[in-house]
Amino acid sequence: MKAAALYAAAGSLLLTTLAAAPAGGAPGTPGAPGTAELHGTAKAVARARAAGIDFGRCTAADLPQAPAGTRCGTVSVPLDYAHPDGKRIKLTVSRIPATHKDPHNSKRKVPRQGALVYNPGGPGASGMYFPLIGTVREWKRIAAAYDLVGYAPRGVGRSAPLSCEDPKQFFKGPSASPAHPSESYKRQRVAQAKAYARGCAQRAGGALRFYNSLNNARDLDVLRAALGENRLTFMGASYGTYLGALYAAMFPSHVRRMVLDSAVNPDPQKIWYRSNLDQSAAFEERWADFRDWIARHDDVYRLGATPAKVQRGYDTARERLAAKAAGGKVGPGQLQNAFLTAGYYDDFWPSRAAALSAYLHGDPGPLVRLAAPSPETAAEAENGKAVYTAVECNDAPWPTDWRVWDRDNTRLARVAPFETWDNAWLNLPCAYWPAPRQQPLDVRTGPGELPPVMVLAAERDAAAPYQGALEMTRRLAGSVLVTERDAGTHGIGGGPNACVNGHLEAYLLTGRLPARHASCAPRPEPVASGGPAGKGVRREALKGKGRVR
């Protein structure tokens, strides 16, 4: 993602579906901050500091094709912090040491400032690729001063992996994606959600309840200690900003510097059901931005000179794919997934527009290459969805009455049809979740309790609507917001915006923050390329995947 921008250069990201707290569903409080968990965390931290991390060569299972200098290891954390001497699980960690090389002055040796730990979001995304970002030009000054550290959170990858269904059955294509589903289709999806929740319980057993954000924050403190850091320098993107906010509220004296990029709304009333509704509404606005851009480049894509005509072309493609899947694999669901990623990253706009244009003009090849399920990534994708679902379902109460979901999403889909129902189906297992729920932590810090935090946000971010960044800034006293105006890419730190990167570098390298909230002009719009013949459509194998599950 790119920070969500990072992974365009360095790996893959399963981005957030933001969600929130509802009416309906009696919450439990397992795992909520308490004396037992507090003592358990202190014990695990002391144990980790004594043990450290035995970094060695990365295996293909740890980090495929890891470059020279990358080192991998593990850190042990309790499955249940209330019982720190009980079952322990191992989290995989990757690191590239600080280079000490000033990219602007080869004679200057840059002093090391410690470890910079990164979480890319999800929940369910692995940060193991993060250290590789140090080779990218925009990151070389930061890589000179910091050991770049990534890790796979609990449940992800080789970190006590979680699974809810057979990965061989994960990609079911072609699939439907009705913007206004029938009653029979809704009943089908309810049945699927119930089956998925049962599968999570059957495969994880009693451990299922311990995959949650509070434990993720505790794990982060154990990782800090294992790295030998007295205070944590942390950067989180998307869901990683909520993790960072929890850490800041739970361990404020353990924070050195913290960057929260594409901040989610930490209001307990938004975790997680209501944030999903907010997100679906925001994706409609971003879809409108994309259609407007396509219409302005009708000379390239021939999809219509108005957003309404572009929408008709998209609807035509959905209808055709419902009648006959492209390449036998791409139906309306796969089309929707491919275009959803354009809501995350505007640098995906040219390839998606070109593929749609090619399909409507008789060439399905580019769309098939772009949107067809990839069996070789099924295990990773299934694992990511399982962790995403478990964490969000465990984190907070959800409506348990289907009629509440039906009412809320039917109303929203009348004005925001692009993503509303697909977002609802993704999260519907939480209505039937078999594990106890928590009450979300009321994230807030008072003046002087926490070092100043930098919050980054794009004004038209759909995956993390801008209101969330404003709320995050209000709740973390002394934090400063850097806004990319009139832009919507999810994850802006370390991307192509020099203004944003200047603030990011100044903060991480010197601790300097803008005196007041800062505003940066938007990055340039994508350059239209490709057309009806499908030219310019790229394989996006190393791009951030977006939330496609």
In whole angstroms, give the CA distance from residue 88 to residue 145.
Answer: 33
What does the pLDDT average to over 227-235?
98
Which one is predicted more confidently, 541 or 262?
A: 262
Lowest-pLDDT range, 13-27, 150-164, 245-259?
A: 13-27
Token pair listed for 440? 């979300």
Give me the helix-helix angle, 378-395 and 183-204, nearest 10°. Answer: 90
In whole angstroms, give the CA distance from residue 108 to residue 104.
Answer: 9
Q: Does 539 score more than 60 pLDDT?
A: no
125 neighbors 13 (Cβ within 8 angstroms)? yes
What does the pLDDT average to over 157-167?
96
Q: What's the pLDDT at 20?
A: 29
Name 91's bridge partners.
75
492 pLDDT band, cuts 50/70/90, is very high
Which one is predicted more confidently, 534 or 75?
A: 75
In whole angstroms, give the CA distance from residue 127 to residue 149.
Answer: 8
What does the pLDDT average to over 514-540?
72
| Cβ within 8 Å of residue 360, ≥6 positions away | 303, 313, 316, 317, 532
Domains identified in the chain and CATH numbers: 59-151+214-268+442-520 (3.40.50.1820), 167-206+272-432 (no CATH)
Name 88's bridge partners.
78
Q: What's the pLDDT at 532?
A: 56
The pLDDT tens digits of the residues spanning 315-367 come to: 999 999 999 999 999 999 999 999 999 999 999 999 999 999 999 999 999 99
- Whole-prediction pTM value? 0.91
Q: Does 270 score more than 60 pLDDT?
A: yes
79 pLDDT band, cuts 50/70/90, is very high
What does the pLDDT average to over 256-261?
98
The pLDDT tens digits of the residues spanning 284-323 come to: 999 999 999 999 999 999 999 999 999 999 999 999 999 9
Token pair 């999403």 is found at 409
Q: What's the pLDDT at 537?
A: 29
The pLDDT tens digits of the residues spanning 170-216 come to: 988 899 999 999 999 999 999 999 999 999 999 999 999 999 999 99
* Active-site annotation, residues: 238, 461, 490
Q: What's the pLDDT at 7?
A: 34
What does the pLDDT average to over 216-232?
98
Kindly report the backbone phi and psi dihedral angles of residue 367, in degrees, each rounded to the nearest multiple of 5, phi listed first. -70, -40
Q: What's the pLDDT at 236?
A: 98
In whole angstroms, give the CA distance from residue 118 to residue 357.
Answer: 38
Short-list 198, 15, 269, CA closest to 119: 15
Average pLDDT, the chain: 91
Q: Does 459 score more than 80 pLDDT?
A: yes
33 pLDDT band, cuts 50/70/90, is low
E-strand spans in 69-108?
Answer: 71-78, 88-96
Kindly report the backbone phi and psi dihedral angles of residue 392, in degrees, each rounded to the nearest multiple of 5, phi listed first. -70, -35
In whole angstroms, give the CA distance from residue 40 to residue 163.
Answer: 26
308, with CB counted inside 10 A (0-12, 13-18, 19+), is exposed
Token pair listed for 139? 């990151």
Q: Does 43 score more than 60 pLDDT?
A: yes
DSSP letter at 139 equals G
Name 90's bridge partners.
76
Q: What's the pLDDT at 173?
A: 81
416 pLDDT band, cuts 50/70/90, is very high
Q: Does 3 score more than 90 pLDDT?
A: no
Q: Which ranges in 416-512 belong to alpha helices (H)?
A: 420-427, 466-475, 498-510
Q: Does 386 score more than 90 pLDDT?
A: yes
Q: Does 530 score more than 60 pLDDT?
A: yes
Residues of the chain with pLDDT > 70, as a percent, come to 91
CA dist 156 → 22, 153, 284 (Å): 27, 6, 30
Q: What's the pLDDT at 82?
A: 97
In whole angstroms, give the CA distance from residue 144 to residue 134.
Answer: 8
In whole angstroms, give the CA distance from residue 325 to residue 348.
Answer: 23
In whole angstroms, give the CA distance from residue 523 to residue 259.
Answer: 20
What does the pLDDT average to over 400-425?
98
451 neighbors 256 (Cβ within 8 angstroms)? yes
